[in-house]
Amino acid sequence: MSTSVAMQKNHKTHSRWFRWRFHLSGLLILIPVVLTPFYIELMSLFGGANGLGERVVGTQQVGPWTITLAEQFERGPKLDGPAGYMKTFNGALCQECAEQVKAVYMRLGKPRSLRTAGVIGFGSPYHMTFSMPVPENSASDADLWLTLEGWDGALHHAQWSLAEASPATVQFLQQLQEK
């Protein structure tokens, strides 16, 4: 008799737990509900719907062309394995020059030649992405150099001081070099 009562109790506890477990699983729906706005905001930043980047650096006249530069995220470079630290910028060419520019390159410091002009911007001419390597020993007063190559072979340069282009990267380098 007592064994049967104990079994019934055990069964009740189990069924209550199973019922609650079922209701708790409903809470899982809250995860996408909470995270979706962040995801949409992030995707609109990558796609350009939220502007060129988190922080617009400025616009410069480069020879006959105009380019606007922005930091994708207003923070220091991220480590990418053996390739070192990478900082991501976005760039946009003016509407009338988009068809005249063949490629845009970016690097820290003055390029020695076109071969060493730096990383190439990829994506639409109105939303190019540059993942630029930032060597650990980079001077915090270094300049960011952009090289624009036209379909006619013309080369034009634009430069921004790193402090102007990305204060977060300057701060990151100072902290790294203090260690």
Partner 1 sequence: MLNSVYRRVALVTLVAAWSQVALAHFPFVECTKETPDIVCLGGFSDGSSAQGVTIDLISYDEEIIASKTFDDHSRVQFEPYDGEFYILLDAGPGHTVEVDWNEISAR
CB of 74 to partner 1, least distance (A): 21
CB of 155 to partner 1, least distance (A): 13
Comparison of 33 and 83: residue with beta carbon closer to partner 1? 83
Comparison of 26 and 32: residue with beta carbon closer to partner 1? 32
Comparison of 103 and 154: residue with beta carbon closer to partner 1? 103
Comparison of 120 and 168: residue with beta carbon closer to partner 1? 120
CB of 110 to partner 1, least distance (A): 12
CB of 128 to partner 1, least distance (A): 11
CB of 105 to partner 1, least distance (A): 6
3 vs 9, 10, 11, 12, 13, CA distance in Å? 10, 10, 12, 14, 15
| Beta-bridge partner residues of 164 | none
Give the whole-angstrom CA distance, residue 46 versus residue 40. 10
Comparison of 131 and 169: residue with beta carbon closer to partner 1? 131
For 3, the token pair is 């064994």
Q: How many CB atoms lie within 10 A of CB 170?
A: 20
Please report the sign of the dihedral spanned by the C-alpha atoms of residue 20, residue 22, residue 26, residue 27.
positive
Q: Which amino acid is at 104?
A: V
Residues that bind partner 1 (CB under 8 A): 80-84, 86, 103, 105, 112-113, 115-122, 131, 133
Give the whole-angstrom CA distance, residue 70 versus residue 64. 20
